[in-house]
Amino acid sequence: MSSKKVLKLRQSILKYNTELLKLKTHLPSSDDANVKYNKILIKKAVCRQELEDTNVSLVHKILKTFSKTSKSEKLICDYFKS
The answer to whether the CB of 17 falls within 8 A of the CB of 44 is: yes
The CA distance from 16 to 39, in Å, is 10
pLDDT-derived band at 75 (thresholds 50, 70, 90) equals confident
Of residues 31 and 76, which shows the higher confidence score?
Answer: 31
Residue 77 has what pLDDT?
77
Sketch the domain layout of the chain as residue ranges: 3-79
The answer to whether the CB of 70 falls within 8 A of the CB of 64 is: yes
29 has pLDDT over 70: yes
HSE-CB for 64 with a 13 A CA cutoff:
9
Residue 11 has what pLDDT?
94
Of residues 45 and 60, which shows the higher confidence score?
Answer: 45
